[in-house]
Chains A and B, each alone.
Chain A
C-alpha cells in the first residue's frame, strides 16, 4: 500500500514542484504592481500576509485589454503557429510515409537522420539559418550565381524566415509520431483496400490517412504548442514586423522590467495553451483505449 502510494506520489510531487508552484508564483506576480525594487514588484511576503493579499488585483489583466499590442500579438502568434503547423504537416507527412515504406534495413538510418539535428545546439542551428537566409547569405548567393535572380531576396527578418525556422526546428516532432503510426500499420490493409476496388490514391485517403490520424494529431500538437510561445526563432529570424507573444513576453520582462505585466501575459498564454493541451491529452487517452 505504502509502496503504491509512493509510486503514484512521484509524478504528482514532480508536477507540484516543477509546474504548479512556479505557476502560482507567476500568477501571484501577475496580480502585483510594478515597483523599483528587488524583486521589481510589490507587495511581497515581507509586507506581511494580510498586506500581500490586499495588494493583489487584476489591474495587469485589465491593462492587457487596453493596449491592442497584446491581443494582436496573441492573434499573430496563433496565426503563425497554425500556418507553420500546417506547413510542417505537409512536409513531414510525406517524409514519414517514405520512411515507413523504406526497406526495413534503411529505417533506423532514416530515423537517425531525422533526429540528428538535435545533436547540435538549437541556437547554433537558428544562427546557421541567418547565414543561409541573409541578403549576402548562401541562398541568395546561390540563386544569384545561377542567374535566377538579379537582386537578393529579402527573407531574413520577415515572417517567411520565421516560418522556415519553425518548420525546420519542429519537423522531427511531426515526423516521429506519424512515422510511428504508419509503421504500425499492416501493409495487407492497403492490399485489401485495392482488392476491394480502391485505386492506390483512394486506398491512401480511405485507409492510410484515417489510420495515421492519431499520429497526425499528436504531431500537430507537438508542433503547435511550442510554436505558439516561440521566442528564439522570431527574435532571431523575424523582423520588427513579426509580432509574437513570446517576443512581447521577453521584452516586458527584460526591456521594460515590468514583471507583473509580463506575468499576466504568460498566464493568458498558458490559458490559451491549456485548450490544445487538454485536447492532445484526450487524443492520447483515446488512442490508448482503442489499443487495449
Chain B
C-alpha cells in the first residue's frame, strides 16, 4: 500500500476509531437506523449523505450521546460508549443552528468547554487565543453572537467545538446556513482545519457537492441504511446501485437485459430497433438478467456527423439544451422516446456552437464509460 495516499480503510491492520456494530435505533415503531455496521478511522473526514429522514442525523446524535442505541454497540477508540453521557465523551459537536450561547461573548463561548474542565486560567486564555487565530476571529472576541455575521458565527461554533481538542468532531450541516459563495470558501477552510488539527471529522449533509468536496469517504444513506461507502471518486465513478448513481450528480439510466459478450463484457439489450450496448463490468451477470447501465452525461459525446468506429452509437434529435455557462447539457431524444443527456464543456464561444434545437445528432460512448448495475 502506498504511504502517500490516506486510505486506512484499505489497510486490514488499521484500527478504526469508531465502530458501529449492528446498530439499530427505533423511535416507537419507526426504524431510524436499521442494523448498521460501519467503521470510521482516525483522521478521516467522513461524510454522511442522504435525503432528510434517512437517519444520518440520528447516527450523529448517537455518536454525541444525545440518542441511545436500541440494539448493537458503538465503540469509540475500542470502548463501548453506550453508557457514557454526552458530557463525558471525548466527542464534540458543531450544531446546525450553531447553538452559540447568546448571553456569552465569542471568547466566553469558546472558553465554555475549557472552563468545565477546570483548566487553569492562563491555559484557557492560550487555548482560546489559539482557536481565535485558527478561525481568524481575533477581532471579534469581545462581541456577542448577535453582533457578528452568519459566517463568523459558523466559525465561532467551529472554534468552540474544537477548543477541547476532541478525538472526534461531529458537524451537523455545518454550512447549511451560509450562502453559496461563502459555503465554498468555508469548505476549504474546514478541510484545512481538519488537516492541521488532525481531528477526525464526521459531517452530516444533504448537499452532495459539499460531501464530495470535503470528505475522504462518503456514506450514502437511505431509510436507515448505508447504501454505499467509498471515496468521492469511487461513489461518483462506480456507484453500486441506481439509487447512489442517481443521488450523486446527473446520470443516464438505461434499463435492459444482459447478454455475456466475452470476458468482463456484456451486451445490453435495451430498446426495440436498437443495437445492443456494449459495456464492461467486473460484476458478473447471467444471460437475460435485468440490469441498468448508469452513465454520466459528461462521458457521452455528441456530434452532428455519424461517428466512425465507436463502441456504442445512438441517433436522436436535440430536444433541449441546458446552458450552464461553463457546460452545456444536451437532452437528446431517441426514436423510442427515451432521453439521453450528453454534456460538453463550452471551450468555444457560444456563437460557434454547432448544435442547436431539433438537430439530428449522434451520441456515443465507450464500453467502459458506464457502470452496469443490478438494481
A residues with a Cβ closer than 8 A to B are: 186, 188-189, 191-199, 202, 206-207, 210-211, 213, 290
Contact = CB atoms under 8 A, between A and B. Distances in A.
Interface string B97-111: 101111100000000
Nearest to A292: B146
Contacts of B95: 188, 191-192
A189 B117 CA distance: 18
Contacts of A211: 101-103
Interface in B64-91: 64-66, 85-87, 91
Contacts of B102: 211
Given A188-B95, A195-B65, 18 more contacts: A189-B99, A191-B86, A191-B93, A191-B99, A192-B99, A193-B112, A194-B65, A194-B85, A194-B86, A195-B64, A195-B91, A196-B87, A196-B113, A196-B164, A197-B116, A210-B103, A211-B101, A211-B102
B160 interface: yes
B177 to A, nearest CB: 13
B92 interface: yes
Nearest to A189: B99
Given A186-B99, A197-B164, A210-B103, A192 B116 contact: no
Contact of A197 (B64, B93, B99, B113): B113
Nearest to A197: B116
Contact of A196 (B96, B103, B112): B112
Contacts of A206: 112
A194 B91 CA distance: 11
Interface bracket on B: 20 to 34
B350 to A, nearest CB: 48
**Main SS at interface, chain A:** helix
Pick the most buried of B86, B99, B117, B160: most chain A CB atoms within 10 A of its CB. Answer: B99
20 contacts: A186-B99, A188-B96, A188-B97, A189-B99, A189-B101, A191-B66, A192-B95, A192-B101, A194-B66, A194-B86, A195-B64, A196-B164, A197-B87, A198-B87, A198-B116, A211-B101, A211-B102, A211-B103, A213-B103, A290-B146
A201 to B, nearest CB: 11
B337 to A, nearest CB: 49
A197 B117 contact: yes
Contacts of B99: 186, 188-189, 191-192
A199 B101 contact: no
A198 B87 CA distance: 6
A211 B103 CA distance: 7
A189 B100 CA distance: 7
A195 B116 contact: no
Contacts of A290: 146
B101 to A, nearest CB: 6
Interface in B169-198: none
Nearest to A211: B103
Contact of B116 (A186, A191, A196, A210): A196
Contacts of B160: 196
Contacts of B146: 290
A194 B99 CA distance: 12
Contacts of B96: 188
Contacts of B66: 191, 194
A209 to B, nearest CB: 10
Interface in B122-178: 146, 160-161, 164
A192 B93 contact: yes
A195 B93 contact: yes
Contacts of A189: 99, 101
A207 B100 CA distance: 11
A90 B82 CA distance: 36
Most buried by B among A192, A193, A194, A290: A192
Most chain B CB inside 10 Å of its own CB: which residue of A197, A206, A213? A197
A188 B157 CA distance: 12
Nearest to A190: B99
B68 to A, nearest CB: 14
Nearest to B172: A188
A195 B86 contact: yes
Contacts of A202: 116
A188 B92 CA distance: 13
B92 A195 contact: yes
A133 B197 CA distance: 67
Nearest 7 Cβ contacts at the A-B interface = A197-B116, A196-B113, A192-B99, A188-B99, A194-B86, A210-B103, A188-B95
